């Protein structure tokens, strides 16, 4: 079995060694320009077109939860990957736990009014504030995939009202489910904290805009853990300035790194992290990839395959 590997920033020798140990009999090599030798599987992140074009691969694995970079490149270069070749993404591999940590910590930060206390501290003000009630601090999760389910699960223990919105209705215990465009307004109207975990598709680009934000509860919060293209940043800033939104926590942006001239840097009610909410954990990723390859080799069903038409 021949496996080619390409990632512009990962520790390639570590990955090659770990994959070779996890998949008995596999020859795993780093792909370099000019390598046209046979390969059965490709493990990639932002792959050059020439790495995949013309190959008769059994499957391609994206080394992350998102596949939008590959799909967008396929639109411009459809010859890069034949439609019959399965494309897989990392469904969890440790990212679910990281998303849980991030979401729970930020929701509790807002619920306990630590943002307000930090603002008071900056003004040398000592004043206890009224507490929020859990019943009125409803949390709405946009995107009900593997990571959305993990985040909902982690928040249940804290007693907040939970709701989710996605393309199709979900049956998550203790979570009110909304589906489709026709139920979006109802989902938003009772949401105090909006957590975005949507996939990046043509339908979801720019979905968090002025019209959507206007439908949230007054004094709402936005937590974006998905993709920067989901949020119209000018509309977000306008909603913060008007008081419609009380705060925003952003891990992803329309341009990364975020340009120094962006007003998001200096806005007092915007908190940010540099796209670190959930990163690929090598050991877990190798375990998933090796297990899935062995399933495919044995003709068994495998999870994580991407529907190229839907984009996830």
Per DSSP, the three-state class of 3 is strand
Contacts 24+ apart (CB under 8 A), 55-59: 56/82, 57/85, 58/85, 58/86, 58/296, 59/85, 59/86, 59/87, 59/88, 59/292, 59/293, 59/296
Check if 209 is active-site.
Answer: no
Radius of gyration of the chain (CA): 21
Nearest to 233 by CA among 202, 203, 265: 265
Identified catalytic residue from 275, 281, 291, 308: 275
Confirm if 22 and 293 have CB atoms less than 8 A apart. Answer: no
Nearest to 91 by CA among 268, 245, 284: 284
Q: How far is CA 206 from CA 199, 280, 285, in A?
A: 12, 26, 30
Identified catalytic residue from 89, 163, 192, 227: 227
Confirm if 90 and 84 have CB atoms less than 8 A apart. Answer: no
Q: Give me the residues paired with residue 27 across strands.
A: 2
Per DSSP, the three-state class of 115 is helix
Check if 275 is active-site.
Answer: yes
Confirm if 179 and 169 have CB atoms less than 8 A apart. Answer: yes
Would you name the residues annotated as active-site residues?
A: 227, 275
């Amino acid at each position: 079995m021949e496996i080619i590997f390409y990632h512009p920033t990962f520790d390639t020798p570590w990955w090659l060694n770990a994959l070779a140990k996890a998949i008995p009999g596999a020859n795993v090599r780093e792909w370099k320009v000019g390598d046209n030798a046979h390969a059965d599987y490709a493990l990639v992140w932002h792959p050059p077109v020439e790495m995949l074009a013309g190959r008769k691969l059994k499957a391609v694995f994206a080394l992350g939860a998102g596949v939008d970079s590959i799909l967008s490149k396929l639109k411009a270069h459809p010859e890069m990957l034949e439609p019959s070749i399965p494309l897989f993404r990392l469904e969890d591999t440790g990212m679910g736990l990281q998303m849980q940590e991030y979401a729970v910590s930020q929701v509790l930060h807002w619920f306990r009014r630590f943002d307000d206390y930090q603002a008071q501290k900056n003004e040398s003000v000592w004043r206890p504030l009224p507490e929020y009630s859990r019943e009125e601090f409803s949390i709405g999760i946009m995107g009900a995939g593997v990571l959305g389910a993990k985040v909902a699960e982690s928040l249940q223990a804290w007693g907040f009202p939970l709701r989710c919105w996605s393309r199709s209705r979900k049956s998550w215990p203790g979570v009110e489910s909304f589906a489709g465009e026709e139920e979006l307004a109802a989902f938003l109207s009772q949401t105090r904290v909006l957590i975005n975990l949507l996939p990046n598709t043509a339908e979801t680009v720019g979905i968090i805009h002025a019209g959507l934000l206007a439908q949230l509860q007054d004094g709402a919060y936005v937590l974006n853990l998905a993709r920067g293209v989901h949020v119209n940043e000018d509309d977000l800033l306008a909603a913060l300035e008007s008081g419609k939104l009380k705060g925003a926590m952003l891990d992803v942006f329309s341009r990364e790194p975020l340009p120094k001239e962006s007003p998001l840097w200096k806005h007092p009610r915007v908190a940010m992290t540099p796209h670190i909410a959930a990163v690929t954990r090598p050991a877990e990723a190798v375990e998933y990839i090796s297990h899935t390859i062995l399933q495919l080799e044995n003709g068994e069903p495998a999870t994580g395959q991407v529907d190229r038409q839907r984009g996830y």
